[in-house]
Amino acid sequence: MKRLTASCGLALALSMPAAQAVNQEIRAMFQPDPSQPGKNLFVNQTPNSGYCVAYPAQCAESNMFSIEVPVRYTSQRNLIPGDGISVQVPANWRRLTVTNRDTGETEVVEVRITGIGSTFHLSERAQDLAGIENKFQAHDRLWTSNGWVYAGPPCRNSPVSGVGDKTYRFFWHTPVESTCIKTVALPIPSMWFEKLDFAYELKTPNPLSMSSGLYTGSISYSMGPGGDFHMGYMMYPDDNNLTLDFTLDVQHTLKVDIPPGGNNVTLEPVGGWAPWLDSGRKPTRIFRDQLFYISASSRFKVLMLCNSTGGTACKMGSQEGNSSDFEVFMSLPAGISGPGGPGANVTRHPLRFNVWAGPFQPGLYVDRKPGTLHFEMTPFAIDFLLRPGVTDRLRGNVTVIWDSDV
């Protein structure tokens, strides 16, 4: 929460061991950028691991992120010609709910897996299995459709791979959620995928409509034959569940600056007091418009406190016992909507004593744009104050609070 004020048993539980699982945090953050006020997007803060660390240029070209998790898939029998290593991942969008730890507000995040990779190990050298000494050609001959750099359709291959005598590092893009198969051409006594690399894509909510704070939530995937992360019906993982723990960090800006001297407001008629003092011509308006500058990236509300019996009227008085009423209105810069909804400009919005006004919602990040507090006496107050024979100076205090905790 940002608030800106301007003043013018011990328990033991026993249970069966839980199934093994892997947890991976994915973190994204929103901070308003004054240089790009229209950019209302979260920025991924999760460090790359796996494929994008080994081949950063490839990932940078496609704005791809990858994560490596310590899950090993191992063949449960010999692989014989005609066997298929069928790879499938959750490439369709899946939804999860994230919750603000402080306010309990919820938002929806969507995630999909856009690529899968690993380094697979063979029990013997590829050259020995294929009967040729060129390791690249030997790896290609183990499969009916060249090596693993050529992804089984509908998956798409990445242009680089890492090839060893017994190992092959690969990465496939998964544009759709479907099985991608590589078919065994020569007997392979055993093989295993050392670790699991995956790429992902996120759809995050509009941060301008979210309160500041940490939003957390999780989504779980099954691993193994027939599961969400399927690497072949003869390939079994040493963990059977992968949970992605999401943290969205929303760091909004709410700042109000009043120019020097702006906390002392003098109400005057248009053109000053001379017409009244010289000729007794009663002014129709006694007011002051006070400029302020606001920076805001999320909804906020406004509260006015003053000497008041309620409603829009604030009181000022003097040591002589005279008193009068005035009202306070607020205008906000373009780009901030009022309670009327999107596009509803905030112009001379009346502030009421001890009643929150708003919420006010920026449509984009507003960076130090001018707004105005309008202080104005009512016609009745002017008539009451400017009575014959009355000479006085009246004073009063007003506190205006801008609060992002809506």
Average pLDDT, the chain: 88
* pTM for this model (two decimals): 0.78
Rounded (5°) CA angle 44-46-47:
125
Q: Check whether residue 134 and residue 33 sit in a common domain.
A: yes
Structural domains counted in the chain = 2
Nearest one of 327, 322, 358, 328 to 340, comparing CA atoms: 358
CATH code for position 355 = 2.60.40
Single-letter amino acid, residue 83:
D
Is residue 10 in some structural domain? no
3-state secondary structure of 184: strand
Q: Check whether residue 240 and residue 267 sit in a common domain.
A: no
280-332 pLDDT per residue, tens: 778 888 999 999 999 999 889 999 999 988 899 999 888 887 788 999 999 99
3-state secondary structure of 130: helix
Q: Check whether residue 85 and residue 231 sit in a common domain.
A: yes
* Run of H or E residues at 110: strand 106-122
Instruction: Please report the pLDDT score of residue 324 as a whole number.
Output: 86
Q: Check whether residue 384 and residue 240 sit in a common domain.
A: no
Question: What average pLDDT score do residues 387-395 get?
Answer: 76
Is residue 64 in some structural domain? yes
Instruction: Please report the pLDDT score of residue 175 as a whole number.
Output: 94
* Run of H or E residues at 135: helix 135-141
Number of C-beta neighbours around residue 335 at 10 A: 17
Is residue 81 in some structural domain? yes
**Which letter does DSSP use for residue 321 in this model?**
S
- Of 235, 250, 265, the residue that ends a domain is 250
Nearest one of 205, 254, 200, 253 to 100, comparing CA atoms: 205
- The CA distance from 351 to 329, in Å, is 6
- The CA distance from 243 to 269, in Å, is 67
332-346 pLDDT per residue, tens: 999 899 887 777 789
Rounded (5°) CA angle 52-141-157:
30
What are the start-end ranges of the E strands in 234-341? 235-237, 241-250, 254-257, 268-269, 286-296, 300-306, 313-317, 323-331, 336-337
Please say if the pLDDT value at position 396 is more than 60: yes
Q: Check whether residue 285 and residue 233 sit in a common domain.
A: no
- Of 250, 268, 303, the residue that ends a domain is 250
Structural domain including 390 reads 254-403
